[in-house]
Amino acid sequence: MINAIAELGKYEKANNPNISSFDIWLEDSYDEKNYPHLLLIEFKKEKNEAKENLFGEDWKWVFSRVDYREHSANFKSKLLYKRGKGSNGTDLTPTSKVTEIEKTFEKKIVKWFESNKNYDFLNDAEKYFLNSIEAEFKEKSDEILLLLKEKSDLIDTKGFVLSISFQEKGKQKFIGDFDFFSKFITEKSKIDYKYSKTFKKYSFSKDKLCSICNKKKAEVFGYFTSLKFYNVDKPGMITGGFEHNKSWKNYPICLDCALDIELGIKMMEKNLSFGFYGLRYYLIPKTTNENAKEEIIDTILEYKKSQRINDADRVTITNAQNEVFDILKKKKNNVTFNLLFFDKPQKSVFRILALIEDVLPSRIKQLFETKDFVDKLFIFKNEQSKEGKILYKFNFGTLNNIFPFHYKQQKLVGKYKAYLQSIEAIFNNTKIDYQFLIQNLMDLIRKLFIHYEKTINTDDSFFFYNSFWKKFEVNQSHIKAITLTNFMLINFLNKLNLFRLKSKENEMDRQFYESFEINSKDELETKVELFFENFRKFFESDAHRSIFLMGGLTQFLLNIQKKPDVRGATPFRSKLKGLKMDARDISTLLPEIIDKLEQYKSNYYVPLEKLISQYLISAGNFKDWNLPVDEMNYVFVLGMNLSKYFKIKSEEKNMED
């Protein structure tokens, strides 16, 4: 993974010649909205005529003036701005964003020279340079501060940046014009790679192989943590046990490769970050073929520039407007993709939520082909709005409903982990527990079903919402949508052969794939068998089949009860026990349903009732069904929501709409 990110950095450098390794560490102090102004404390070079010759040189820097400039991005390489750690400490160079002029001058500028004038990486001339300025600050700080306040009072309320400049031979120079100032960024940034403040230990070595470029380098580091793929505070993560000074052996990284990784991270943030139902992930291509690497990165970047975000014809499997999977599916298998799901609640905090590795373009293509297959199944294809828009199309949002991903809420940690694990299983072709999926699916359906029950016989609207679903009004069509989209998910996973089930995948009959209807009583049994045969994995036993058809018959009864001239309400719904029925409850429903239909003189379903009876007899004693309650109730509610397909067309005029 780290190697792949380093490759992104190399690509960025190769395609942007203006980027230097040093630029990776720099930050831009310019901000048009908040920091549009620049104040410079300027020093000029003069001959040192003091007899005591304090610094052993014949020249010194003398304070000259406070200069004002309009700030711009062009000053980035001249000001060498990089924030320090902690609000009270200095920045890495004497360039700082001003909060309070006096405080910034004393704590960020003057203190910087006091603290940094004698570093070991400086030569004698450089130390003299800094000591000369520090001496001038000591002598003239009151004068300089007064001039700074006067200048700042003339500036509007927007903020400004404070730095140092120099006059030498009639030319104004900035700290970026002196090479040794950049050492304060390179050397102090390198410290984070080799020293852990947590453990107060160094971990680096000389003349060793870098694990990224596989070249012998003068120095390699053990604490490179820009992306925290491993920790060095747990047993087993450190070569040599808990000897932190030897942690460099775990993943030694040289400075050049560390900078490539830093640049790769910036590129990912800018160009390879995508949304996924409230989550974010980096899409990281990986290949050993140089041409393939160039091609795939170029493809992604060009796509992001030219995509038609509102193109209704685009085929997607997520809710992201900039989804790129439909482009990747067309690529050859000379590249793989890593999906790094992450959270950045703060700029300094990076949490890895999940890492899905080595996804092939052929796998992405297979996911789209399976989506197309499921979308065209008659039970989903025919569900259209009044405007003719298809209501149900498969995407990963279905998983999002079943497994809420709000990992910040402790009670939902298990849910969001299951969500990410399911996504990983789909991309990596690993098995998913069918019963676990059904259990969570039924948790959702029951919530909706129970809330709907509370208002079904009243005139009040009931809105169901909680911390992870948007507020919506619960009604029967919404429950149907949830039930059927989840059945889409089950069919999608089944087609991909991801369930831990014994039976093999069964190809659907082409005619069945396109449409399904029952035209006469004579066709009922044959068509019902065809339905079950084509969904064999989900209706393995006669118990499954009887439960499904019982759900359909129950829905017919509820539709009749709801008619204004019958009851105008659905009291029979209470018999369903909030969809927590066991085998006994379900097996005893048939006579009660028939009795109610006879009372209403609306028993149009005798052929279906006979067929249910046959399946119940075949299923045997309900005590021997051995089916989980969640599975039975899901099959039942699925039958309720697919009931319209089991009406006999020739007799439909006698039935309810």
159 and 64 inside one domain = yes
Which residues lie closer than 8 Å to 92 by C-beta, 6 or more apart? 80, 82, 83, 84, 184, 185, 188, 189
Burial 376-390 (b: 16+ CB within 10 A, else e): ebebbbebeeeeeee
Report percent pLDDT > 90 for the chain.
38
In a domain, 271, yes or no: no
Which residue shows structure tokens 């019982």?
Answer: 550
Do 345 and 458 lie in a common domain? no
Residues 570 and 631 occupy one common structural domain: yes
Residues 47 and 159 reside in one and the same domain: yes
| CA dist list (Å): 13 to 158, 519, 560, 634 | 35, 68, 71, 55
- Asked, for residue 272, whether it belongs to a domain, the answer is no
**What does the pLDDT look like over 181-218, one tens digit per residue?**
999 998 888 888 887 777 778 888 899 999 899 999 99
Per-residue pLDDT, averaged over 523-545, amounts to: 89
Residue 267 lies inside a defined structural domain of this protein: no
Q: Pairing state of beta strands 171-174 and 195-196?
A: unpaired
Kindly state whether residues 397 and 430 are assigned to the same domain.
no
Radius of gyration of the chain (CA): 35
C-alpha distances (whole Å) from 621 to each of 70, 443, 492 are: 87, 27, 33
> Does residue 543 lie within any of the structural domains?
yes
Last residue in a domain, options 133, 154, 184? 184
Output the pLDDT for position 323. 82
The verdict on 39 and 147 lying in the same domain is yes
| Mean pLDDT of all residues belonging to the chain | 82
pLDDT of residue 426: 94
Check residue 233 and give its pLDDT.
44
Domain carrying residue 322: 278-420
Burial per residue of 125-163, b for 16 or more beta-carbon CB atoms within 10 angstroms, e otherwise: ebbbbbbbbbbbbeeeeeebbebbeebbeeeeeebbbbb
**Backbone region of residue 461 per phi and psi (left: phi > 0; alpha: psi in -120 to 50; beta: other values):** beta
CA dihedral 155, 161, 164, 169 (to 10 degrees): -60
Examine the domain organization and report whether 358 and 380 are in the same domain.
yes
Higher local confidence (pLDDT), 479 or 272: 272
Q: Are 165 and 173 in contact (CB under 8 A)?
A: yes
How many H helices and E strands in the chain? 22, 16
The answer on 436 and 378 residing in a single domain is: no
Q: pLDDT digit string (tens) for 67-110?
A: 999 999 999 999 999 998 777 889 999 999 998 999 999 999 99
**Higher pLDDT residue, 377 or 361?**
361
- Model pTM above 0.85: no
Query: For residues 608 and 549, what is the distance between their CA atoms, to the nearest angstrom?
Result: 8
Mean pLDDT lowest among 132-141, 236-245, 271-280, 369-378 = 236-245
- What is the tens place of the pLDDT at every residue in 284-341? 999 878 888 888 999 888 887 776 544 555 678 887 777 888 888 888 888 999 999 8
Q: How confident is the model at residue 657 (pLDDT cuts 50, 70, 90)?
A: very low
Q: What is the pLDDT of residue 523?
A: 87
Smallest CA-to-CA distance from 440 within 474, 486, 395 is with 486
Residue 155 lies in a domain: yes
348: confidence class by pLDDT, cuts 50, 70, 90: low
Question: What is the reported pLDDT for 231?
Answer: 45
Reference 351, options 339, 362, 361, 341; nearest CA is 341
Residue 311 has a pLDDT of: 55
Same domain for 471 and 404, yes or no, is no
Which residue is listed with tokens 């059904």?
Answer: 438
Same domain, 414 and 511: no
Which pLDDT band, with edges at 50, 70 and 90, does 613 fall under?
very high
Whether the predicted pLDDT of 412 surpasses 70: no
Name which residue leads in pLDDT, 322 or 240: 322
- In this predicted structure, the answer to whether residue 620 has a pLDDT above a threshold of 60 is yes
| 273, part of any domain | no
Six token digits for residue 634: 């899901």
Spatial separation of the C-alpha atoms in residues 475 and 477, rounded to whole Å = 6
Overall domain count for the chain: 4
Instruction: Note whether 1 and 226 are within 8 A (CB).
Output: no
Q: Tokens 């050859």 sit at which residue?
A: 332
Domain assignment of residue 583, yes or no:
yes
Residue 129 sits in the same domain as residue 145: yes
Of 228, 261, 294, the residue at which a domain comes to its end is 261
The verdict on 163 and 218 lying in the same domain is: no
Q: How confident is the model at residue 167 (pLDDT cuts 50, 70, 90)?
A: very high
Q: Of the candidates 184, 207, 225, which is a domain's last residue?
A: 184
Q: Would you place residue 466 in the very low, low, confident or very high pLDDT band (cuts 50, 70, 90)?
A: very low
Tokens of 16: 């942007």
Whether 266 is covered by a domain: the verdict is no
Residue 389's contacts (CB-CB under 8 Å, 6 or more residues apart) are none
